[in-house]
Amino acid sequence: MHANMNATTAAARTKTFRPQKARSGTQGWQLKQFADATLGSGSLKKAVKLPEGEDRDEWLAVNVVDFYNQINLLYGSITEFCSPQSCPEMKATDEFEYLWQDSESFKRPTKMPAPQYIEHLMAWCQSNIDNEQMFPSRIGVPFPKQFGPQLRNMVKRLYRVYAHIYCHHYPVVIALGLEPHLNTSFKHYVLFINEHDLVTGKDFWGPLGDLVEGILNSD
């Protein structure tokens, strides 16, 4: 996290997922250092912009991996409060329920409890990040044509975790002192995908539309 979140405690509570790290010496690692330094300056609006002369796909990849890590830690911190009993459906508000689908075990949209949905989502993200064909880590290796659509799909699905946390676990987030971390992470996420046109239409934001509008109008 870009605030001093207790990452060790959060990771210990996370049952399945392991944070991803850009490997030292790679282009991604160098861009990660730039992103962290820019975030440290306090300007999120500046931090989301593509550095001059850098590859756009590489910049998108580094930042989406960072969002995955942030959400991983945030959800890991509140996972004991998100159970099949407390959250039998993967919902934001009642109007927005999310069904899981993938190319292997769930080929049709499938209703499931929130923790099961999020576990499948994080494992799916991790498998994409670990896939060198999709997320190449070596300098000079081009990103595939399907990288753009798959990245947008990752962005869309990660948003659902933010939405679930805000709509169902915000009191716990406040009680644990994680509110600044969640708000900063989500603001960074919103400004980044808005800057790079990674989603289309206001309908995407659905349950958090008012919060997103406030972020975009205030920064």
What CATH number does the domain containing 199 carry?
1.20.140.30
14 lies in some domain: no
- Is residue 87 marked as binding? yes
What is the domain count for the chain? 1
3-state SS assignment for residue 100: strand
Domain with 155, as residue range(s), is: 30-218
Q: Rounded to the nearest 10 degrees, how much is the dihedral formed by the CA atoms of 22, 23, 25, 27?
A: -40
Domain assignment of residue 17, yes or no: no
183-207 average pLDDT score:
88
Q: Is 168 annotated as a binding residue?
A: no
Distances (CA, A) of 32 to 49, 50, 57: 13, 12, 13
15 occurs within a structural domain: no
pLDDT digits (tens, 9 = 90+) for 145-191: 999 999 999 999 999 999 999 999 999 999 998 898 899 899 999 99
pLDDT for 104: 87
Could you give the CA distance from residue 138 to residue 80 in angstroms, rounded to a whole number? Answer: 38
| Residue 179 within any structural domain of the chain | yes
Say yes or no to pLDDT of 124 above 60: yes
Burial class, 37, CB count within 10 angstroms (exposed 0-12 / middle 13-18 / buried 19+): exposed
